[in-house]
Amino acid sequence: MYNFKEVEKKWSERWEEEGTNSPSMDEAENHYYNLMMFPYPSGEGLHVGHTYAFGGADTFGRFKRLQGYDVFQPMGFDAFGIHSENFAIKKGMHPEELIEETTSYFRDEQMRPYGGMWDWSREVNTTDVDYYKWTQWLFVQLFKNGLVERKESSINWCPSCKTVLSDEQVESKDGVNVCERCKSEVSKKTSEQWFFKITEYSEELLDYHGTEWPETTAEMQKNWIGRSEGARINFELTDGREIEIFTTRPDTLFGATFFVLAPEHPLADEMEGSEIEEYLKKVDNKTEVERKAAKEKTGVLTDLKIINPVNGEEIPVYVADYVMADYGTGAIMAVPAHDERDLEFAEKFGIEVREVIKEGEIINSGEWNGLSMDEVLDWIEDEGVGEREVNYKLRDWCISRQRYWGPPIPMIYCEECGWNPEEDLPVELPYIEDYQPKGEGKSPLADLEDWIETECPQCGGEAERETDVSDTFLDSSWYFLRYPSTDIDDKPFDKERTEKWLPVDSYIGGNEHALLHLMYSRFITMALNDMGYIDFREPFKRFYAHGLIIKDGNKMSKSRGNVVNPTEYMDEFGADALRMYLLFLGSYDQGGDFKDEGMQGMKRFLDKVYRLFKESMDSCGDSEDLDRALHKTIKKVGEDLGSMKFNTAIASIMKLTNVWKHNIEEADKSFLRSFALILAPLAPHLAEEMWSILGEEFSIFDSEWPEYNEDLIKTDNFELVIQIDGQVRDRVIVERGISESEAERVALERENVQKHLNDREVKRSILVPNQLVNLVTE
Ligand code: ANZ
Ligand code: ZN
């Protein structure tokens, strides 16, 4: 046993003191930016999920460093936002004081002892005015470049958080739309908010510019963006007014037997008549989910008739809530023969169902019979009936929050000049005692008359500040740009440094951020590139999504009382043991099941390594078996760590340790040195300790990953001769270096051997290495 507490404390402090983990931003030549998602400092402290994510990412970073890279591995805190504010409310504290407490607990009590290779000299905290000044700057730049818009729109409202949410912050739970934070049901509301025009990048967000993404993440983004190819078609009402529709199936135009307007469509909205007005009122109270999930379609017939542009037929127009206002044009041609929703509606209202496609062929469609989709689209464009169009489900990013704990949106309203951006940043968040959300559609900042009153930056007249703050996801959409430039305060990021260190070489985090953080970061990066601030379009060269940790087969939750507190395990078993245990649970992209017994097992393994190491200090022999095993392991562990296969890397090291145990006398200094190096990314403290005992220069992480000898690991096979009591009875091809017990096992499996043994018992066996095995029965 070694005193892991002492050892771990000693080395993590030494790394800190000597700046071991702080590469020079300007001088580093072989730069590698190893990023992991920064946490929000929740009151519960570090979660084992963090420990898992960070453990893998750090092991990868340390391996890269041993490979000769100048690895930059920063860390920070995403401390603004509803999550921190809600927790402050619960605790009855001011978020500012709470954040100070929780961040120092995270950093000093939990993360530092864990021993990640973090460069704490470049820590970022999104609530520091030196940081959020630049978040506000970003808002202003986007505004000046036409990417910010204030518009009236149907938005999501969380009645519990008392704020609007972006579409990406709304989750579906059992068919109900809920707030991503507090899981309360959200409702739809129409109001005026600030939006970022992410939709201008819909198409480009589907192109990853050669960067590497897990299929699941890319798929989630793709579905969210929801690209549909089709056509926009012009219809004319019999009274001469025109309406456009979007369809993905222009080939079914001859099958359109009715037409539907969304209740919010301007044409429907102005309609009179008691039945329609009543229907519109009813729909007003429904949520989008209710409308989409409704088992029975509802709607009302209007007096309008519309002309199908391909056959001149007059068809009836309905208002129905299964058509949504904010997709396509908010109006559809209905083809009940080929669309499920239209069919349900047609059956209920007794409308004709006319088949126009059979076995993929257009039928019943006059001159269109037999045409392909492309020919149909050409026809439509040539006749001026409509044109090809691509539609996206993605909506603009609603950025306003009616809360306190965020950067004030740096906009000023003047009656004369309208909205203007604040030129004099930062707009500091004023300290107010009563910061709780009021729920009247306004931030608590709206009560601060003195703060609101300001000068119009354009005409100098009286003007008012915006009182909403921005969404937390804006804070995290650019933090990776700040890290290399934290020492610079006259700009958000230095151009030269940014272009040197970014795009980020490797980004590791959870897939739950696929839509929010990851998609927003990609959008902001593209926008900054368009504005000329950076020279790349994708922020991350590669994203890797790690799996999740469960406990004894169950999801961890407070109500189950099975939440693993990593700090407790670290205290009891050590940071290295905890990290290795977590990484040994399964493949890193799958996660694993945390069990206390397993944790103890990993601690015993590290104790064993240390014991063997001490016992080998006087060894000087030479063993071909051990050498062969070592070089094989160097190769395997190197390949595995480079591809984040931490569990199999650990398994190989364990196997090597067993060979070591049988060759204690032969484990010389060069073996011990190599062993420490391959262990270092996985158990950094213990490896540093071994390194120092070996008399090597601090730090092991400034050394190099050992090379392996290809000749030694060639696993040539040979023909093993099998004897029974000295008589040759069989031959079999096996791997060189096969052990005595393994050779016996292989021999006993042979039919010929069994026949000759004829039920006699093998008392012992003798191996002549790489030649023969003799089974002795007497
Ligand atoms: C005629 C048609 C025939 C359609 C057919 C589908 C099948 P995606 O793939 O999701 O883009 N649609 C268009 N706007 C709509 C709205 N605002 N609310 C509800 N539905 C709307 O779906 C596009 C299809 O969804 C469109 O193509 C339209 O119905 C409907 F056999 O037009 B289709
Ligand atoms: Zn003005």
Kindly report, residue by residue over 594-617, the tens digit of the pLDDT.
Answer: 988 889 999 999 999 999 999 999
The string of pLDDT tens digits covering residues 28-46 is: 999 999 999 999 988 788 8
Instruction: Give the pLDDT band (50/70/90) at residue 164.
Output: confident
Q: How confident is the model at residue 561 (pLDDT cuts 50, 70, 90)?
A: confident
**From residue 369, how far is each of 336, 357, 362, 412 by CA, in Å?**
19, 9, 5, 60
Instruction: Report residue 660's pLDDT band, with 50, 70 and 90 as the boundaries.
Output: very high
Q: What's the 332 CA to ligand 1 centre distance in angstroms?
A: 7
Ligand nearest to the CA of 462: 2
Give residue 556's pLDDT band: very low, low, confident or very high (50, 70, 90).
confident
Amino acid 770: pLDDT: 86
- When pLDDT is averaged across residues 166-175 and rounded to a whole number, the result is 81
- Provide mean pLDDT across the span 256-268: 94
Q: Which tokens is 774 given?
A: 């003799």
Q: What angle do CA 204, 169, 560 make, to 5 degrees?
A: 130
Q: Is 308's C-beta closer than 6 angstroms to any atom of ligand 1?
A: no
pLDDT attached to residue 271? 85
Token reading at 482:
């700040």
Cα 244 to Cα 242: distance, rounded to the nearest angstrom: 7
Are 37 and 440 contacting, i.e. CB atoms less than 8 angstroms apart?
Answer: no
C-alpha 102/C-alpha 90 separation (Å) is 14
Neighbouring-strand partners of residue 320:
299
* Interval between CA 381 and ligand 1 midpoint (Å): 19
d(Cα 720, Cα 499) in Å, to the nearest integer?
A: 60
Query: Is the separation of the CB atoms in 249 and 373 below 8 Å?
Result: no
The tokens describing 70, both together, are 């100048």
Give the distance (Å) from ligand 2 centre to CA of residue 492: 28
Biggest CA–CA distance in the chain, Å, is: 110
Segment 152-166 shows an average pLDDT of 82
Residue type, 687: A
Q: What is the pLDDT of residues 192-234, one digit of tens each?
A: 899 999 999 999 999 999 999 999 999 999 999 999 999 999 9
Q: What are phi and psi of 207, to 5 degrees?
A: -110, 120
Confidence of residue 540 (pLDDT cuts 50, 70, 90): very high
Contact 295, 345 (CB under 8 A): no
Which pLDDT score, from 0 to 100, does residue 718 have? 85
Does the beta carbon of 320 sit less than 6 angstroms from any atom of ligand 1? Answer: no
pLDDT computed for residue 239 by the predictor: 94
Tens digits of residue pLDDT in 682-708: 999 999 999 999 999 999 999 999 999
| Count of CB atoms situated within 10 Å of the CB of 547 | 19
Whether residue 327 has its Cβ less than 6 Å from ligand 1: yes
Which of residues 413 and 190 earns the better pLDDT score? 413
DSSP type of residue 616: G
Name the residue with the closest Cα to ligand 1, atom 32. 247
Ligand 2 midpoint to CA 137 (Å): 21
Please give the Cα distance from 135 to 428 (Å, whole number).
12
Is any atom of ligand 1 closer than 6 Å to the C-beta of 402?
Answer: no
Mean pLDDT of the chain: 93
Using a pLDDT cut of 90, give the percent of the chain over it: 78
Whose tokens are 């050992």? That residue is 706
Beta carbon of 345 within 6 Å of any ligand 1 atom: no
Please give the structure tokens belonging to residue 233.
């078609």
Distance, CA 349 to ligand 1 centroid (Å)? 19
Whether 305 shows a pLDDT value over 80: the answer reads yes
What are the DSSP calls for 624-688, one per residue?
HHHHHHHHHHHHHHHHHHHTT-HHHHHHHHHHHHHHHHHTGGG--HHHHHHHHHHHTTTSHHHHH
Q: What are phi and psi of 427, to 5 degrees?
A: -95, 100
**What is the model's pLDDT at position 563?**
84
The pLDDT value given to residue 616: 94
pLDDT band at 439 (very low <50, low <70, confident <90, very high): confident
Query: Rounded to two decimals, what is the model's pTM?
Result: 0.87
- Of the pLDDT bands very low, low, confident and very high (cuts 50, 70, 90), residue 577 is very high
| Pocket flag, ligand 1, residue 339 (CB < 6 Å) | yes
User: Could you tell me the end-to-end alpha-carbon distance of the chain, in angstroms, rounded to an integer?
Assistant: 44
List b or e across 189-212, with b for residues whose CB sees 16 or more CB atoms inside 10 angstroms: eeeebbbbbbbebbeebeebeebe
- Averaged pLDDT, 443-447: 89
